[in-house]
Amino acid sequence: MLIFSMLSYRTAKLCFASSNVALTVLVKPKETVTLKNRKYSNTLDLKPLSTSEPGNFSTLEHFLTDESNPARHTIDDVGLMYTIPKEDYSKMVSSQFNTVAFTQQFDKQVQSLNEASMVIRQPGFEIVNYLQNTDYTAPVNRYVIHGPQGSGKTMLMMYATHFCMKENWLIVPNYNMWSWMDYQSRYKPTMKKEIMESTWNKERVDVPHRAVIWLDTFKLLNGSLLDNIKTTQKYQWSKHESADIGESFSSIVDFGKARVRVATDVIGAIMKEIRVQDASTMPRTLVTVDAVNAAFCETKLKIKHNVYLKAHELSYGHNLKKLMTSSWTNGAVITALSKPFLEKNKKGYLLPGSHPYDLLGQEGFDWLDPHIPIAVGQYTDKEILSQLAYYKDRKFLTGPCLSEAGEAELIQLSYRNPADLAHICLSAS
Partner 1 sequence: MSRTCFWCLRSRGPACYSLAFHKTTPYIAGMVVQPRFQTGEQQTTNLHTSSILLRGLMPIRTDNDGTNLMKKKHVRYSEDYIQEKIEEYKLGVRRLAVMMGRDPKTFTEDDVKSSIRYLFPSSLTSVSARPSLDHPADLFPREIRVEADSHGRPKNYLFYTMSDLFYEELHFIYSCLLEAQQLDDRNYEKKIAPETTLDLKGSSWMSHDEVKKMFHNIKLPMYNLLISQLSRLAEEPYAYKYKNLIMKYRVVFQVQIAAKLDQLETKVDENGREYSEAQGKRKTAVADVRVYSKGKGRITINGEEFDEFFPLITDRQVVITPFNLLRMNLFFDVEANVRGGLSGIWMSEKGSSPQFPTNPKTSQAGAIRLGIARALQPFVGATNAEILRRAGLLTQDPRKKERKKPGQWKARKKFTWKKR
Chain residues that interact with partner 1, rule: CB under 8 A: 35, 38, 40, 43-44, 46, 48-51, 148-150, 340, 343-344, 346-350, 354, 378, 405, 408-409, 411-415, 417, 419-420, 423-424
Give the chain's length.
429
At its nearest, how many Å lie between partner 1 and the CB of residue 415? 4
Nearer to partner 1, 86 or 186 (CB): 186
Q: Give residue 205's identity as a one-letter amino acid code.
A: V
Q: Of 225 and 408, which has the nearer Cβ to partner 1? A: 408
Contacts of 396 (CB under 8 A, 6+ apart): 425, 426
C-beta of 94 vs 417, nearer to partner 1: 417
Euclidean distance between CA atoms 132 and 111, whole angstroms: 32
Contact in structure between 283 and 238 (CB atoms under 8 Å): no
Element (H, E) at 146: strand 141-146
Cβ neighbours of residue 23 closer than 8 Å, sequence gap 6 or more: 1, 3, 133
DSSP letters of 54-69? B-TTTT----B-S---
Could you tell me the smallest distance in angstroms from the CB atom of residue 418 to partner 1?
Answer: 10
The rounded distance, in Å, linking the Cα atoms of 41 and 122 is: 35
CB of 272 to partner 1, least distance (A): 35
Residue 126 CB, shortest distance to partner 1, in Å, is: 23
Radius of gyration of the chain (CA): 23
Q: Which is nearer to partner 1, 38 or 234 (CB)?
A: 38
Alpha-carbon dihedral angle through residues 181, 187, 192, 195, given to the nearest 10 degrees? -30
Q: Cβ(275)–Cβ(322) under 8 Å? A: yes
CB 125 to partner 1: min, Å: 24
Q: Which residue lies nearer to partner 1 by CB, 284 or 355?
A: 355
> In the complex with partner 1, which residue's Cβ is closer, 280 or 306?
306
In three-state secondary structure terms, 123 is helix
230 vs 300 by CB, closer to partner 1: 300
Shortest distance (Å) from residue 295 CB to partner 1: 20
Name which of 4 and 40 has its Cβ closer to partner 1. Answer: 40
Q: Residue 335 or 378: which CB sits closer to partner 1? A: 378
Main-chain dihedrals φ then ψ at residue 180, nearest 5 degrees:
-80, -20
Q: Please state the closest distance from residue 409 (CB atom) to partner 1, in A.
A: 5
* Maximum pairwise Cα distance, the chain: 86
Closest CA to 410 of 111, 398, 148: 398
Closest CA to 163 of 334, 24, 5: 334
Q: How far is the CB of 186 from partner 1 (least distance, A)?
A: 9
Smallest distance, partner 1 to C-beta of residue 128, A: 27
Task: Report the alpha-carbon distance of residue 58 to residue 176 in Å, rounded.
Answer: 37
